[in-house]
Structure 1
Amino acid sequence: MARQVTNSTFEELLRAAGYENAHAAFARQLNHAGRDQGTWRYDAASIYWWLRGRRPGEHVQAAMAETLARKLGRSVAITELGFGAGDSIGLCVYPVTVDGAIDTAEQIWTRLTKCLSQQASGAFDSGKALEAALGWRYDLPDQAVSRNGRQQVTSTDVQSLYALADHFTDLDRRHGSGSPRTRAIMADFLVRQVAPMLHGTYTDAVGRDLMRAAATLSGQLAFMSYDAGDHATAQHHVTLGLRLAKAADDNLYGAHLLANLATQAVFMGHARGAARLVEAAIDGARRAPAAVLARLHATAATAYGQSGERRACQLALARAERALDRAGTDPGPRWVGYFSPAHLAGAALRCLGDLHLYTQALRHVPEALTLGCQNTRTRALHTALIAVTHARAGNTDAACSWGRKLAQNSAGIQSARVQQRVRELTTALSPQQASPQVTDVLHTLAAMPAAASRLERERARTSRLPSQM
Structure 2
Amino acid sequence: MARPVTNAAFEGLLLAAGYANSHAAFARQLNHAGRNEGAWRYDAASVYWWLRGRRPGEHVQAAMAETLARKLGRSVAIAELGFGAGDSIGMCVYPATVDGAIDTAEQIWTRLAKRFNQQDSGAFDTGKALEAALGWRYDLPDKALNRNGRQQVTSTDVQSLYALADHFTDLDRRHGSGSPRTRAVMADFLVRQVAPMLHGSYTDAVGRDLMRAAATLSGQLAFMSYDAGEHVMAQHHVTLGLRLAKTADDRLYGAHLLANLATQAVFLGHGREAARLIEAAIDGAGSAPAAVLARLHATAATAYGQSGERRACQLALTRAERALDRAGLDPGPRWVGYFSPAHLAGAALRCLGDLHLYTQALRHAPEALTLDSQNTRTRALHTALVAMTYARAGDTDAACDWTSKIGQHAAGIQSARVRQRVRELAATLSSQQTSPQVKEVFHILAAMPAAI
User: Where on the TM-score scale, by shorter chain, does this alignment land: which range?
Assistant: 0.7 to 0.9
**2: CA distance, partners of 1:203 / 1:310:** 49
| Counterpart among 17, 23, 29 of residue 26 in structure 1 | 23
Report % sequence identity: 78
**1: CA distance, partners of 2:282 / 2:26:** 35
Specify the alignment match of 1:3 in structure 2.
Answer: none
1:66–1:99: 8 Å Cα contact kept in structure 2? no
The reply on whether 1:420 has 2:417 as its aligned counterpart is no
Specify the alignment match of 1:408 in structure 2.
Answer: 408
Specify the alignment match of 1:228 in structure 2.
Answer: 228
1:412–1:451: 8 Å Cα contact kept in structure 2? no
Counterparts in 2 of 1:315 and 1:7: CA distance versus 1, 3 Å: closer
SS of residue in 1 equivalent to 2:259 = helix
SS of residue in 2 equivalent to 1:101 = helix
1:93–1:132: 8 Å Cα contact kept in structure 2? yes
Provide, for residues 15-54 of structure 1, a one-character-per-residue CA deviation record: whole Å limited to 9, x for no partner. Answer: 9xxx723222227768x94759xxx9x7xxxx9xxxxxxx
The reply on whether 1:112 has 2:115 as its aligned counterpart is no
What pairs up with 1:131-142 in 2 under 5 angstroms? 131-142=131-142
**1: CA distance, partners of 2:220 / 2:168:** 8
**1: CA distance, partners of 2:199 / 2:229:** 31
Provide, for residues 170-225 of structure 1, a one-character-per-residue CA deviation record: whole Å limited to 9, x for no partner. Answer: 00000000110110110000000000000000000000000000000000000000
Specify the alignment match of 1:465 in structure 2.
Answer: none
Specify the alignment match of 2:34 in structure 1.
Answer: none
The reply on whether 1:122 has 2:119 as its aligned counterpart is no
One-letter code of the match for 2:143? Q
**2: CA distance, partners of 1:7 / 1:356:** 50
Counterparts in 2 of 1:371 and 1:284: CA distance versus 1, 3 Å: same
One-letter code of the match for 2:446? A
What pairs up with 1:278-289 in 2 under 5 angstroms? 278-289=278-289
**1: CA distance, partners of 2:79 / 2:440:** 52
Specify the alignment match of 1:309 in structure 2.
Answer: 309
What pairs up with 1:290-309 in 2 under 5 angstroms? 290-309=290-309
**1: CA distance, partners of 2:273 / 2:79:** 28
**1: CA distance, partners of 2:409 / 2:57:** 50
The reply on whether 1:191 has 2:191 as its aligned counterpart is yes
1:298–1:347: 8 Å Cα contact kept in structure 2? yes
**2: CA distance, partners of 1:139 / 1:400:** 51
Counterparts in 2 of 1:308 and 1:81: CA distance versus 1, 3 Å: farther
2:23–2:44: 8 Å Cα contact kept in structure 1? no
**2: CA distance, partners of 1:86 / 1:124:** 22
1:33–1:63: 8 Å Cα contact kept in structure 2? no
What pairs up with 1:34-53 in 2 under 5 angstroms? none
Counterparts in 2 of 1:70 and 1:95: CA distance versus 1, 3 Å: farther
One-letter code of the match for 2:124? F
Counterparts in 2 of 1:178 and 1:346: CA distance versus 1, 3 Å: same
Counterparts in 2 of 1:370 and 1:234: CA distance versus 1, 3 Å: same
One-letter code of the match for 1:138? Y
TM-score w.r.t. length of structure 2: 0.87
Specify the alignment match of 1:93 in structure 2.
Answer: 93
**1: CA distance, partners of 2:451 / 2:373:** 19
Specify the alignment match of 1:272 in structure 2.
Answer: 272
What pairs up with 1:370-409 in 2 under 5 angstroms? 370-409=370-409
**1: CA distance, partners of 2:86 / 2:354:** 37
Counterparts in 2 of 1:242 and 1:408: CA distance versus 1, 3 Å: same
2:116–2:184: 8 Å Cα contact kept in structure 1? yes
**1: CA distance, partners of 2:246 / 2:447:** 45
SS of residue in 2 equivalent to 1:193 = helix
**1: CA distance, partners of 2:348 / 2:229:** 23
**1: CA distance, partners of 2:263 / 2:222:** 12
Specify the alignment match of 1:440 in structure 2.
Answer: 440
**1: CA distance, partners of 2:85 / 2:173:** 36
Specify the alignment match of 1:163 in structure 2.
Answer: 163
Specify the alignment match of 1:331 in structure 2.
Answer: 331
1:390–1:399: 8 Å Cα contact kept in structure 2? yes
Specify the alignment match of 2:245 in structure 1.
Answer: 245
Provide, for residues 299-336 of structure 1, a one-character-per-residue CA deviation record: whole Å limited to 9, x for no partner. Answer: 00000000000000000000000000000000000000
Counterparts in 2 of 1:35 and 1:140: CA distance versus 1, 3 Å: farther
For residue 62 of structure 1, report the CA deviation from its aligned partner.
4.7
Counterparts in 2 of 1:200 and 1:323: CA distance versus 1, 3 Å: same
Counterparts in 2 of 1:57 and 1:14: CA distance versus 1, 3 Å: closer
**1: CA distance, partners of 2:11 / 2:284:** 41
2:110–2:187: 8 Å Cα contact kept in structure 1? yes
Counterparts in 2 of 1:126 and 1:297: CA distance versus 1, 3 Å: same
**2: CA distance, partners of 1:214 / 1:289:** 23
Provide, for residues 157-180 of structure 1, a one-character-per-residue CA deviation record: whole Å limited to 9, x for no partner. Answer: 000000000000000000000110
One-letter code of the match for 1:434? T
Counterparts in 2 of 1:65 and 1:116: CA distance versus 1, 3 Å: closer
What pairs up with 1:254-265 in 2 under 5 angstroms? 254-265=254-265
**2: CA distance, partners of 1:343 / 1:376:** 13
One-letter code of the match for 1:297? H
RMSD: 3.0
**2: CA distance, partners of 1:111 / 1:294:** 35
**1: CA distance, partners of 2:311 / 2:451:** 41
**1: CA distance, partners of 2:8 / 2:194:** 33
One-letter code of the match for 1:135? G
One-letter code of the match for 2:207? G
1:228–1:417: 8 Å Cα contact kept in structure 2? yes
Q: How many residues align?
A: 424
One-letter code of the match for 1:409? H
Specify the alignment match of 2:30 in structure 1.
Answer: none
**2: CA distance, partners of 1:259 / 1:301:** 11
For residue 64 of structure 1, report the CA deviation from its aligned partner.
11
1:91–1:108: 8 Å Cα contact kept in structure 2? no
2:387–2:403: 8 Å Cα contact kept in structure 1? yes
1:63–1:100: 8 Å Cα contact kept in structure 2? yes
**2: CA distance, partners of 1:187 / 1:380:** 27
2:57–2:103: 8 Å Cα contact kept in structure 1? no
**2: CA distance, partners of 1:287 / 1:440:** 51
Tell me, which stretches of 5 or more residues in structure 1 are unaligned? 1-5, 48-54, 453-469
Counterparts in 2 of 1:357 and 1:29: CA distance versus 1, 3 Å: farther
Specify the alignment match of 2:347 in structure 1.
Answer: 347
One-letter code of the match for 1:275? A
For residue 80 of structure 1, report the CA deviation from its aligned partner.
7.8
Provide, for residues 77-124 of structure 1, a one-character-per-residue CA deviation record: whole Å limited to 9, x for no partner. Answer: x99842559965555111111111001100100011111111122210
**1: CA distance, partners of 2:13 / 2:89:** 18
**1: CA distance, partners of 2:450 / 2:208:** 45
**1: CA distance, partners of 2:450 / 2:368:** 27
The reply on whether 1:211 has 2:211 as its aligned counterpart is yes
